[in-house]
Chain A
């Protein structure tokens, strides 16, 4: 994550999530992470930027310059903002081709976030991953 927007630089996201030993700890870690996500302005929260299939509202803006992908995201639910911080930390600033080579689901599982992939929130997170690695 960058701190270019004046956001506090978070602790190591991977270490924080991997240290969680229970659902409750993961919950609290995601709340902590959620506070580091720069919020999207109202004009970016368009229908077009909205990710379909999420129970909470999620917006994802993908920008590309010189082949490098940059992401901005937001949600009306706090835990989802924490999940977005985790997801974006894996892909921000990478080339599309490199992102496509990643096994994002496995990486999220390593971060103790697999319940976000297997519950009813599945479709939502999968839709986010889809949008991240399509042209």
Chain B
């Protein structure tokens, strides 16, 4: 039997409201997802019953908080099948995780070394590498991927013996396409490069196994996978995490400090300076528990069926440019010639339909597509077929209203 979103939609009370007298239709899930009750409850519970700083006081509450905090690390480790919990570093999000790696590897880069990324990256997986290149004299190279997520085999020459870092997204946030990750990682590893995978758009939808991916670093944000904002994960293989110089220093990450020198703590603490985002960690573990309790493949199939339905309805209409693939994606990214996406967005908003209009933090990709931006409807497990249809209906109304005869 097909998955029925009403089996879990009641766990998301925020969705049961109206926006400007219309039922709220939340289709901006690639920007951030809503949070289920178990996540909200876990955060409340932390503050109501075991708030204390972790790893410090030897007292009842601090022990409880520390235990739950470290249990959460286990939960995340098994969620992505990391071999050990010390390979899971807390960050404030995908962006901070990438910056931690970019700054941490700086001491290993030399002039003339190459950093390779793809043409489908979010600015978060582009600007830190560009700036690292500026600081070290390394060269930032862009592996061109088509908007179908394909690359030409003759592009294998982008991977050279100077490639020190290869960073790629698993799924494009702007157009929803999956990249040929495994093949690219193989090429990068053959050249001995450090490999980083940006899983920000993947974790909410796909079961992740970092050991199968076999990348050095895997990073993501909690808020795009039903968890709280302000918490994210940097997973790394131990040798890869070991070589990172701490990007931030201070308390918690040290073992011994004198005025002359500091001995850093072991992993994972060495890369976690300061009091961590404890409530975020607790909430993120609850989000993993929530996902683990679902039939993940059924959720994915449902989300993909919503996107496919929208694709086929809009494709039939004609006159709409669709940039996302027809299949195997959970979002639809489009534009309408001669109508501004902000105008479309304004009408959708007036009808309670929340989508994203813009460049999706991917200016170079928009240039590759030849547009200033796109309108993106992105689905999560709680979205219904009625909502997918409502998006299509309202979009078509908007086009009618905005078309110049």
Contact = CB atoms under 8 A, between A and B. Distances in A.
Answer whether A and B are interacting partners: yes
Given A55-B358, A78-B402, A24 B343 contact: no
B401 A28 contact: yes
Main secondary structure of the interface of B (DSSP, over half): helix
Contacts of A76: 340
Contacts of A78: 339-340, 343, 402
Given A27-B350, A78-B402, A79-B342, 8 more contacts: A23-B349, A23-B350, A24-B351, A26-B350, A27-B346, A27-B401, A31-B402, A77-B340
A22 B349 CA distance: 12
A26 B347 CA distance: 10
Contact of A77 (B21, B342, B349): B342
Interface residues of B, number: 14
A132 B339 CA distance: 27
A80 B342 contact: yes
B126 to A, nearest CB: 21
A78 B351 CA distance: 18
A101 B27 CA distance: 43
Nearest to A31: B401
25 contacts: A22-B21, A23-B349, A23-B350, A24-B347, A24-B350, A24-B351, A26-B350, A27-B346, A27-B350, A27-B401, A31-B401, A55-B342, A55-B358, A56-B340, A56-B342, A77-B340, A77-B342, A77-B343, A78-B339, A78-B340, A78-B343, A79-B340, A79-B342, A79-B346, A80-B342
Contacts of A79: 340, 342-343, 346
Contacts of B155: none
Main secondary structure of the interface of A (DSSP, over half): helix
A80 B402 CA distance: 13
Interface in A49-101: 55-56, 76-80
Interface residues of A, number: 14
A79 B347 CA distance: 10
A76 B349 CA distance: 19
Nearest to A56: B342
A56 B343 CA distance: 10
Contact of A22 (B342, B347, B350): B350
Contacts of B21: 22
A55 B6 CA distance: 37
